[in-house]
Amino acid sequence: MERVPLERKVLSENDRIAGELRARFQEHGILCLNLISSPGSGKTSLLERTLESLPRNDRVAVLTGDIQTENDANRLKRFNFPVKQITTGGTCHLDARMIERHLADWRLEDLDLLFIENVGNLVCPASYDLGEAAKIVVLSVTEGEDKPLKYPSIFFKSDLLVLNKVDLLPYVPFDINVAAGNARKVHPGMEIVKVSCLTGNGLHEWMNWLEQRRTAHKSLQETVS
């Protein structure tokens, strides 16, 4: 019997493609953000609110993933930015190859910001690198405040937690401080913004975070080039 050391990642093929995507995003100065949440937490609503408030000539695009239907792409196309639906046909996450394929007929030199809306799922998307600069996890107050403890991986790997649907706080037994505490147990120092995509409450905090990220990305870009 001989034992051969393998010492590589299980998803090394995905990671290889993600690495190529990251290099292309870097080359074109694109900030890529990967949005992850349970189904129905408000990823699409957050993107609608975001696209609505960005200047019409902003260089932004969205790839949105679901198992079936073009519904999300149709919701997001109203804002006249490039939007493409990725239907996975059953797979519960997006992988780097799907991103590569769906970017094929876009001119990356025309973009500064790319949102990827992952398939609604708190588990699998955490394992698949898509070449993004950061993952963002969205949690709504109608879910449990212990979600970060139950699904630590995604909270651990995300730079920002967007707590959505805060307009419903008076009606649900959700302690926002407990939820934030749980998120920071898993990910000490995690940044958190509280928003309601319905009323618009707190969205300026999210837009500020986004603006800061874009500025930081741009200055990093200038230092590199």
User: Which residues of the chain form contacts with another protein (CB under 8 A)?
Assistant: 1-13, 90-93, 123-124, 126-127, 149, 151-154, 156-157, 185-186, 188
| Residue number with CB closer to another protein (181 or 200) | 181
Closest approach of another protein to the CB of residue 152, in Å: 6
Closest approach of another protein to the CB of residue 187, in Å: 9
Closest approach of another protein to the CB of residue 90, in Å: 7
Run of H or E residues at 31: strand 31-37
Beta bridge partners of 68: none
Of 148, 142, 157, the C-alpha closest to 184 is 148
d(CA 196, CA 166): 5
| Residue number with CB closer to another protein (11 or 207) | 11
Q: Give ∠ CA 110-112-116 in degrees, rounded to 5.
A: 105
| Residue number with CB closer to another protein (34 or 50) | 34
Sequence length of the chain is 225
Closest approach of another protein to the CB of residue 145, in Å: 14
Q: Which amino acid is at 198?
A: L
Closest approach of another protein to the CB of residue 117, in Å: 19
In degrees to the nearest 10, what's the CA dihedral of 101, 107, 108, 109? Answer: 170
Beta bridge partners of 86: 65
| Residue number with CB closer to another protein (94 or 133) | 94
| Residue number with CB closer to another protein (23 or 149) | 149
